[in-house]
């Protein structure tokens, strides 16, 4: 029997290709297109190429990007040669992709988790997810490219593609999730709770055949009914939902799942046999009187009074823990278990004194889930002592927020969740506590956390304000201005705001040359002709499209060739990419206003500087580094240090796959010669020269390394990947995994 992933690929390819064919048919139905394009034969060819491209993209999920990527210094066509309509069509497609991504396709996060479960050791994200709108758009663009359509026809086809393919993408994702559930791929994982059940039912009904029936090779797998587990009275409403999904066909199951939110699923696991085997899940509410949800719902006024009393009690617990921490010389027990113990004692005492009646079952579940969540966050290896202490302070605050708004558990855009993400991401690199007094981001973090603790009822708007302050502090520390980029994104017409675009381009150039030891000629070139070129590019296309990415990548290659520090193999890489690099740069300069004679002189001087940097390296002349850069470079323990070449590894080697899929902003950790932790974050990649560039928390480059060398370091155990992306998403998934697995301690106690 073939791998289930094969059947998912075949089903998705067929369904998406059918939608592409519909888009092409709709484009031809326009009166002005009938006589010219597309014919049935042409449409068939495009559809076949699309299906082939999609299958190839799907097969490449687990292949490192260096194996897939074309050279990022491919020829960049002069903007002056792009007609208005072609430019409009390009921008239109990029806008469609952006719009679909921002809309948060229902069920996509669950689909991503399921794909990752079938691909051990591989991270699935926007860069390699074949269901991502940009990947699907790329498949279509490559399929339609040989037609060399006229611009106005291309724009019309893109519009129909947006309606027919992107417009139905959510239903495809829903059906693929349903298919994977029937194949027993994480059947307990539910779709996004904000999915509209009515919407999904309509989408599923529109397809005459479920995807399982469309795949001729697909094995017949019968859906087993969910096992009934005895829950206490607090789970009566949850049980009703779970019963309704038993022994239902796949198409119906998708709609039922959509009605059951993520919190209800976590509650089911919390009260399951495996969940209850963990002492921590009931620590905060053990021996506390709890009323069922049904009982409390019958008396809404009583429920509101009890909720407010519970929140006031949590305020007192928070206040007492803060004071005990200030007044005691010994470290306070403010970890998750310690907080749970304090809450439990206060709840029992309040009920004994008659100050608090039975608490609602859902409130008890929320409290226990937050305890488990923060226990998992605290144990994440990305958090060092100073960061753990900051996170522990806000556990009860987040508990109160979740009690008021349960979207905390399922909405990734929840402001409180994003604040935790930003807080931890800001502090992952705080490895040297002695330097924190001079760290402005650390001081901002402490200040906004104090504001959060002091605010009686922090709502979403208040948290958004704190979130904005933290982001501003982070961007200022890196020499950026967040407000400017946000303003550019929100401008209705770029051509009417030249001053903003000029400032934005200057900022982006500054980010590129910050902390670099560059020849003054290069700096002047970037601030004149290259600046003019970037100004024209942003004015015409904005800075979120593929053209901007290609140009920035080309400039990164230019700056790499100009840096005085070289490594073994760099000369060969330089010889391979430089001819195309200089060709592209001459086009940039021409669009930027340089004359032909001026371009010739600039090219001559660029080559001289490039050659001189290699001469410096051969002569052993090293550039000056900051104290932090020098400390990292000299102290880091590398298994490949001193080796000119390292042996190749197979492309499916798990270490190669892990490094190949490492997203930007990931943090890795080395050990120093004295045992100290040395952390750095992936700041940029240059595919064409196979280089990864890492910076410290201050934005200074501390490591330049090839994927192969880093894979060898990972294999040797000299480096660890400690953080890939934001923490809250993986922490929530870890809560589900934790509750789904029986505790060994609980199992032993039961056996005895």
H or E element in which residue 629 lies: helix 627-635
Q: DSSP string covering 493-545, please? A: -GGG-HHHHHHHHHHHHHHHHTT----HHHHHHHHTHHHHHHHHHHHHH-SSS
| Residue 411 pLDDT | 87
Indicate the pLDDT class of residue 333, thresholds 50, 70 and 90: low
How far is residue 179's CA from residue 177's CA, in Å, rounded to a whole number? 5
Q: What's the pLDDT at 240?
A: 37
Q: Side-chain half-sphere of 466: how many Cα atoms within 13 Å?
A: 26
pLDDT of 256 reads 34
Q: Give the separation between CA 502 and CA 535, rounded to whole angstroms.
A: 6
Q: In terms of Cα–Cα distance, which of 685, 682, 664 is closest to 719?
A: 682
Tell me the average pLDDT across 310-325.
88
Residue 182's nearest CA partner among 209, 221, 217 is: 221
DSSP assignment of 188-221:
TPPPPTTS-HHHHHHHHHHSSS-HHHH-TT----
Q: What is the per-residue pLDDT for 541?
A: 78
Of the listed ranges 63-67, 90-94, 297-301, the one predicted with least confidence: 63-67
pLDDT score for 571:
93
Q: Residue 8: its pLDDT value, please?
A: 92
- Contact predicate 169/101, CB 8 Å: no
> Which residue intervals of 245-297 are DSSP H helices?
250-259, 262-270, 273-276, 293-297
Q: Which residue has the higher pLDDT, 309 or 193?
A: 309
What does the DSSP assignment read for 526-537? HHTHHHHHHHHH
Cα 708 from Cα 573, distance rounded (Å): 15
121 vs 216, 656, 711, CA distance in Å? 30, 10, 13
Least Cα distance to 230 among 248, 218, 242, 219 occurs for 242
| The predicted structure's pLDDT at residue 88 | 53
CB-based contacts of 685, cutoff 8 Å, min separation 6: 65, 664, 691, 692, 693
Which residue shows structure tokens 């495996």? 274
Q: Whole-angstrom Cα distance, residue 590 to residue 613? A: 26
Give residue 70's pLDDT. 37
Q: Give the pLDDT confidence of 415-427 residue by residue, as tens digits.
A: 999 999 999 988 9
Q: What is the pLDDT of residues 64-90, one digit of tens each?
A: 443 443 333 333 333 333 443 444 556
Residue with more model confidence, 466 or 248: 466
Mean pLDDT, the chain, rounded, equals: 80
Q: Which two tokens stand for residue 629?
A: 């850069």
In the prediction, which pLDDT does 190 show? 58
- 40-59 and 4-28 helices cross at what angle (nearest 10)? 150
Q: Check pLDDT > 80 for residue 431.
A: yes
Rounded to two decimals, what is the model's pTM?
A: 0.66
User: Tokens standing for 653?
Assistant: 């080697």
- Residues with Cβ within 8 Å of 281's Cβ and at least 6 positions away in sequence, in order, are 270, 275, 368, 371, 372, 739
């Amino acid at each position: 029997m073939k791998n289930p992933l094969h059947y998912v690929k075949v089903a998705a390819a067929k369904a998406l290709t059918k939608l592409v064919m519909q888009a092409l048919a709709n484009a031809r139905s326009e009166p002005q297109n009938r006589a010219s394009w597309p014919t049935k034969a042409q449409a068939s060819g495009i559809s076949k190429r699309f299906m082939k491209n999609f299958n190839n993209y799907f097969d490449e999920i687990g292949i490192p990007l260096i194996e897939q990527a074309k050279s990022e210094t491919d020829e960049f066509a002069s903007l002056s040669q792009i007609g208005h309509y072609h430019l409009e069509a390009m921008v239109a497609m990029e806008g469609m992709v952006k719009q679909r991504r921002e809309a948060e396709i229902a069920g996509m996060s669950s689909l991503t988790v399921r794909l990752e479960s079938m691909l051990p050791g591989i991270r699935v994200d926007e860069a390699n997810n074949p269901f991502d709108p940009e990947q699907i758009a790329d498949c279509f663009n490559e399929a339609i490219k040989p037609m060399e359509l006229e611009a106005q026809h291309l724009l019309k086809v893109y519009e129909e593609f947006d309606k027919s393919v992107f417009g139905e993408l959510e239903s495809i994702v829903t059906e693929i999730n349903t298919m994977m559930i029937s194949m027993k791929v994480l059947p307990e994982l539910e779709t996004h709770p904000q999915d509209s059940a009515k919407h999904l039912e309509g989408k599923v009904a529109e397809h005459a055949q479920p995807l399982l029936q469309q795949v001729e090779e697909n094995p017949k797998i019968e859906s087993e009914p969910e096992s009934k587990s005895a829950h206490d009275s607090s789970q009566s409403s949850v049980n009703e939902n779970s019963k309704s999904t038993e022994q239902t066909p796949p198409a119906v199951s998708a709609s039922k799942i959509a009605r059951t939110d993520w919190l209800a699923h976590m509650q089911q696991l919390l009260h399951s046999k495996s969940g209850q085997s963990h002492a921590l899940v009931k620590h905060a509410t053990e021996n506390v009187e709890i009323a069922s949800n049904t009982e409390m719902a019958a008396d809404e006024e009583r429920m509101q009074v009890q909720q407010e009393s519970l929140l006031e009690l949590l305020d007192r617990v928070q206040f007492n823990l803060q004071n005990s921490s200030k007044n005691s010389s010994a470290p306070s027990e403010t970890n998750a278990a310690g907080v749970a113990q304090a809450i439990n004692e206060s709840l029992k005492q309040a009920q004994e004194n008659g100050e608090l009646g039975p608490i609602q079952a859902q409130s008890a579940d929320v409290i226990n889930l937050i305890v488990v969540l923060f226990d998992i966050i605290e144990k994440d290896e990305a958090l060092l002592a100073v960061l753990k202490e900051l996170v522990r302070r806000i556990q009860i605050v987040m508990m109160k927020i979740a009690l008021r708004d349960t979207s905390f558990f399922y909405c990734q855009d929840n402001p409180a969740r994003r604040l935790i993400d930003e807080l931890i991401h800001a502090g992952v690199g705080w490895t040297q506590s002695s330097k924190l007094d001079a760290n402005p981001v650390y001081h901002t973090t402490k200040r906004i956390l104090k504001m959060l603790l002091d605010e009686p009822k922090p709502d979403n708007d208040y948290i958004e304000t704190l979130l904005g302050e933290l982001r501003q502090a982070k961007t200022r520390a890196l020499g950026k201005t967040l407000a400017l980029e946000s303003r550019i994104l929100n401008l209705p017409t770029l051509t009417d705001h030249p001053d903003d675009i000029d400032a934005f381009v200057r900022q982006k150039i500054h980010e590129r040359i910050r902390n670099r030891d560059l020849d003054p000629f290069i700096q002047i070139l970037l601030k004149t002709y290259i600046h003019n070129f970037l100004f024209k590019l942003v004015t015409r296309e904005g800075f979120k499209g593929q053209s901007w990415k290609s140009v920035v990548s080309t400039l990164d290659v230019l700056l790499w060739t100009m840096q005085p520090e070289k490594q073994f193999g760099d000369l060969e890489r330089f010889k391979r990419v430089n001819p195309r690099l200089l060709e592209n740069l001459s086009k940039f300069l021409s669009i930027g206003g340089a004359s032909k004679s001026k371009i010739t002189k600039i090219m001559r001087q660029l080559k001289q500087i490039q050659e001189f940097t290699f001469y410096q390296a051969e002569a052993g002349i090293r550039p000056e580094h900051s104290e932090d850069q020098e400390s990292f470079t000299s102290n880091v323990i590398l298994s490949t240090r001193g080796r000119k070449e390292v042996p190749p590894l197979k492309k499916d080697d798990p270490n190669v796959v892990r490094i190949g899929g490492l997203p930007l902003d990931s943090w890795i950790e080395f050990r120093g010669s004295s045992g100290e932790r040395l952390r750095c974050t992936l700041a940029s990649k240059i595919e064409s020269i196979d280089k990864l560039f890492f910076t410290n928390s201050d934005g200074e480059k501390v490591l330049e390394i090839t994927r192969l060398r880093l894979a060898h370091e990972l294999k040797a155990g000299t480096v660890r990947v400690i953080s890939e992306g934001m923490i809250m998403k993986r922490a929530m998934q870890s809560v589900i995994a934790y509750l789904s697995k029986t505790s060994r301690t609980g199992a032993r106690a039961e056996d005895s």
